[in-house]
């Protein structure tokens, strides 16, 4: 069913959802930046912006610095404490590209031996799609077949259109806002840039693409903004802090660009060069794993050297046609 309503009714509705759920949605910071944030009833949710929020939904779904175990044997009351996922009902309002990112995380964390904490978290999470009415400067989701306004695969989608909001409800996963006017609605066709370098299937081959890899490895500062902001990067490390008497075990995000990422016993590294690391990154994002890049453009937004994924595809395209 399709409906139309105004911004006031959407704001009141989100406020009322905060009474029964933890609500995560885009919020404007005082300097104008948009971040996905946990919403308090007094907060104004921002649904009128171009592109994606700066941070990724991964911050709330698969967070960095997750404490797994704590131990303390320093007194007679020695204890080991484990930290399991709370069963809290949550709603997250996301751009369509970020919804696709969550579906990729689902496939990753629920494959083979499922991550039980992740499963529990997802069972209590409702996804609401925020359709795009404006395209951000770094967006290229259409390259990977993601639609800025979802056509089919949503349960509830909100899209700003002029001075109103279009509410599309397929399944009644939530109580809907008040003051809805039922309408017939065809979403406007909106596309981002579509990049299709001929060599996308062989882009991981750094020996064939020497010019491209020379450029990437020369420019990359190894700051790791791109992997940490990427909503589909899943690699992590498990680290113990403290000693055998008192300490904690943490799960930290890792990055395939770190030089220690593939180091093995006795210092052996099967992928010893920076070109190897980049080859694995491009293969993971553009070739393997159902092409895990969703074209959100965050790596382009953060990269100090202009070699986010969109820029790399543009460089590759340029070299294809040179």
Which residues contact ligand SF4 (rule: CB under 6 A)? 220-226, 229-232, 257, 285, 293-299, 302-305, 307-309
CB of 270 to ligand SF4, least distance (A): 21
CB of 209 to ligand SF4, least distance (A): 16
Angle between helix 96-109 and 116-123 (nearest 10): 140
Alpha helices in the chain, H assignment, sequence order: 7-17, 58-61, 96-109, 116-123, 210-219, 225-229, 274-286, 298-302, 309-321
SS3 282: helix
CB of 103 to ligand SF4, least distance (A): 13
CB of 176 to ligand SF4, least distance (A): 31
CB of 175 to ligand SF4, least distance (A): 32
Distance CA 111, CA 235 (A): 15
Closer to ligand SF4 by Cβ: residue 34 or 294: 294
CB of 269 to ligand SF4, least distance (A): 19
Closer to ligand SF4 by Cβ: residue 133 or 285: 285
Distance CA 124, CA 227 (A): 27
Closer to ligand SF4 by Cβ: residue 47 or 294: 294
Distance CA 308, CA 136 (A): 15
Beta carbons within 10 angstroms of residue 118's beta carbon: 17
Distance CA 242, CA 116 (A): 26
Closer to ligand SF4 by Cβ: residue 125 or 256: 256
Closer to ligand SF4 by Cβ: residue 177 or 231: 231
Closer to ligand SF4 by Cβ: residue 43 or 224: 224
Distance CA 179, CA 165 (A): 11
CB of 35 to ligand SF4, least distance (A): 15
Closer to ligand SF4 by Cβ: residue 131 or 231: 231
128 within 8 A of 92, measured Cβ to Cβ: yes
Closer to ligand SF4 by Cβ: residue 18 or 139: 139
CB of 2 to ligand SF4, least distance (A): 29
Question: What separation, in Å, do the N-terminal and C-terminal C-alpha atoms of the chain show?
Answer: 49
92 within 8 A of 57, measured Cβ to Cβ: yes
What is the DSSP secondary-structure string of 97-131? Answer: HHHHHHHHHHHHHTSSS--HHHHHHHHTEEEEEEE
């Amino acid at each position: 069913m399709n409906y139309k309503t105004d911004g006031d009714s959407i704001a009141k509705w989100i406020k009322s959802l905060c009474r029964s759920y933890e609500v995560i949605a885009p919020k404007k910071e005082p300097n104008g930046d948009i971040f996905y944030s946990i919403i308090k009833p007094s907060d104004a949710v921002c649904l009128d912006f171009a592109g994606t929020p700066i941070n990724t939904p991964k911050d709330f779904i698969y967070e960095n610095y997750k404490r797994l175990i704590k131990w303390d044997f320093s007194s007679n009351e020695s204890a080991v404490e484990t930290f399991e996922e709370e069963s809290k009902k949550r709603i997250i309002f996301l751009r369509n590209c970020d919804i696709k990112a969550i579906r990729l995380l689902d496939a990753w964390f629920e494959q083979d031996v499922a991550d039980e904490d992740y499963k529990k978290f997802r069972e209590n999470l409702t996804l609401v799609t925020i359709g795009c009415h404006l395209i951000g400067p770094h967006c290229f989701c259409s390259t990977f077949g993601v639609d800025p306004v979802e056509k089919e695969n949503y349960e509830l989608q909100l899209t700003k259109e002029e001075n109103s909001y279009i509410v599309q409800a397929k399944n009644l996963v939530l109580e809907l806002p008040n003051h809805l006017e039922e309408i017939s609605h065809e979403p406007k066709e909106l596309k981002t840039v579509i990049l299709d370098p001929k060599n996308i299937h062989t882009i991981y081959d750094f020996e064939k693409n020497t010019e491209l890899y020379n450029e990437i490895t020369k420019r990359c500062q190894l700051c790791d903004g791109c992997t940490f902001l990427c909503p589909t990067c899943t690699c992590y490390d498990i680290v113990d802090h403290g000693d055998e008497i008192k300490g904690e075990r943490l799960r930290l995000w890792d990055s395939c660009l770190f030089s220690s990422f593939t180091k093995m016993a006795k210092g052996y590294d099967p992928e010893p060069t920076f070109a190897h690391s980049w080859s694995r990154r491009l293969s993971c994002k553009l070739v393997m794993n159902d092409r895990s890049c969703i074209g959100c453009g965050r790596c382009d937004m953060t990269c100090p050297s202009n070699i986010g994924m969109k820029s790399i595809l543009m460089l590759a395209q340029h070299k294809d046609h040179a």
